[in-house]
Amino acid sequence: MLFQNFKYRTSVYRRLKQIMQLYPRGVVNIFTDYPNIKEIVEKHRKRGKSPDALALYISALIITRDLSLISDVDRLTIRLQLRSLKVKELLDFSNQVSKNIKSTATEEISSAYYVGWVSYSGKRMLNEGLIGADEYRLFSSEIQGQLTNLVSQDGRARRIKTELDGIVGLPSGAGKQLAAEVRRGINYLTGDGVGQDDAEALKHFKPAAEQRNVYAETLLAGMYENGNGVAQDYKEAVKWYRLAALQGYAEAQLGLGGMYLKGQGVPQDDVEALRWLQFAAEQGHDPTQAMLGAIYEHSERDYVQAHMWYSLAAARGNEPAAKDCDLLAEKMTPDQIAESQRLAGQWEPKSQP
C-alpha cells in the first residue's frame, strides 16, 4: 500500500512538471510556493482521481492563482513569450489548464480570469499582425467557448439541486413529483449518497424532460453535450437547452449561449451567444453575471460594464465576484466607478427572453 501511494504521488508530480514546463513564468519550487499541494494530492488520491487528471487540476490552480496576482505589464510579458507559438499550441495550453476545473465557484471564476486574459491576448496578436483574421476567428471561437465550460456539469447540478430542495419541500404542487425525480437523478449524476451512475441519472432525467421540466431538460442537454451516459450529440444538446431556455430558465440560457460560443450543434455566433448569456445574467444568475464581468474586463476591456456585473453577482453572495470587483476598482477612475454604480443601481432582474 505504501509503495502504491508513493507511485501515485510520483506519477502526479512527474506529469505536473511536464505541464508546468509549458507555462512561460514557470514555478521555481512548487512545494515551497504552494505548500498545500501534498494535501490536495492525498485528498484526490483517496477519491480515485487519475494522476494525469489530478496533475492538470493542480496546474490549473497554480496558473490561475499566479495570473490573478501579477500586474498587467507582467501578463503582457507572458503574452510576448507566447506569441512565438502557433495559435493551436496556445489553445492546447489553455485547454490543459482549464478543462479539469470542476469544483468550487472560486476555481471557476479564477479560470474565467485566465481564459479572459488569453482571449484579450488573441485580440492583441491580431492587432499587431501576428495572426490573420481567419486564424483569430478560430482562436476566438475556441477560447470564448471555454468560458462556459468553466461552469461544470457538477456545479450546475448542485445549483439545480438547491432549487429543487425548495420545491420538494412544498406540501403539494404539480411539479413536486417531477422535482423529486430530477433530484434523484442528480444524486446519481454527482454520486451524492449513491454510486455515481450516468446511465441511472439519464433514466430519471429523460422522462421528466419529456414532460417539459426545465431542470431535467437542462441536465439532459448537459449529458448530450458532454457525452455522459449517452453518445455525445451537440444538436441534441442544443435542442434540450433551447426548450428550457425558451421557458426562461437561466441555467439553460447559459448552456445555449455556450453552444453558440463554441459553434457546437449550431453555427458559431458570438452575437447570439452573448444574447443568451445576457438573458441569464439579467435574471440575476450570478455565475453568468460573474462570467460576463470576466468577459468585459479581460476580453472587451470595458471596465464599467465589468464592474457592474461583478458587483451584481457579489450582491447575490458570489464571493469570487466580490473580490474581482474590488481588484478591478483599483484600475478604474472615480468617474468609471460612479457610472458602474449608477448602472447597477438602475438594474432590475428580468424573467423572460
Q: Alpha helix (H) ranges present in 191-285?
A: 198-210, 214-226, 234-245, 250-262, 270-282
Residues 29 and 140 in one domain: yes
- Phi and psi at 12, nearest 5°, equal -60, -50
281 falls within a domain? no
The answer to whether residue 217 is domain-embedded is yes
b/e map 286-305, b = 16+ CB within 10 Å:
bbbbbbbbbbbbbbbeebbb
The two most distant CA atoms of the chain are separated, in Å, by 64
**How high is the pLDDT of residue 105?**
44
| Identity at 337, one-letter amino acid code | I
pLDDT for 273: 84
**pLDDT score for 43:** 77
Check whether residue 219 and residue 292 sit in a common domain.
no
Q: Which domain holds residue 311?
A: 286-346
Separation between Cα atoms, residue 140 and residue 224, nearest integer Å? 24
Contacts of 273 (CB under 8 A, 6+ apart): 144, 257, 258, 259, 260, 261
**pLDDT in the model for residue 203:** 94
| Residue-level pLDDT at 345 | 94
Q: Hey, what's the cell of 333?
A: 477612475
The pLDDT tens digits along the chain (353 residues) read 555 677 788 888 887 777 676 666 665 566 666 667 777 787 777 777 778 777 777 776 676 666 666 665 565 566 555 555 555 555 566 565 555 444 444 455 555 555 665 666 666 667 777 667 777 776 666 666 666 555 567 778 888 888 887 765 555 555 678 888 899 999 998 888 888 899 999 999 999 999 999 999 999 999 998 888 899 999 999 999 999 999 999 999 989 988 887 788 998 787 888 899 899 999 999 888 988 888 787 766 789 999 999 999 999 988 878 888 998 898 899 999 999 999 999 999 887 65
- In terms of domains, do 229 and 126 share one? no
Domain count, the chain: 3
**Residue 253's pLDDT is what?**
93
Question: What value, to the nearest 5°, has the Cα angle with vertex 302 and ends 144 and 119?
Answer: 25
Domain boundary residue among 108, 128, 149? Answer: 149
Do 244 and 120 share a structural domain? no
Same domain, 121 and 196: no
Classify residue 279: in a domain, yes or no.
Answer: no
What is d(CA 161, CA 94) in angstroms, rounded to the nearest whole number? 30
- My answer on whether 263 and 337 are in the same domain is no
The answer to whether position 278 is within a domain reads no
Residue 2: how many CB atoms within 10 A of its CB? 6
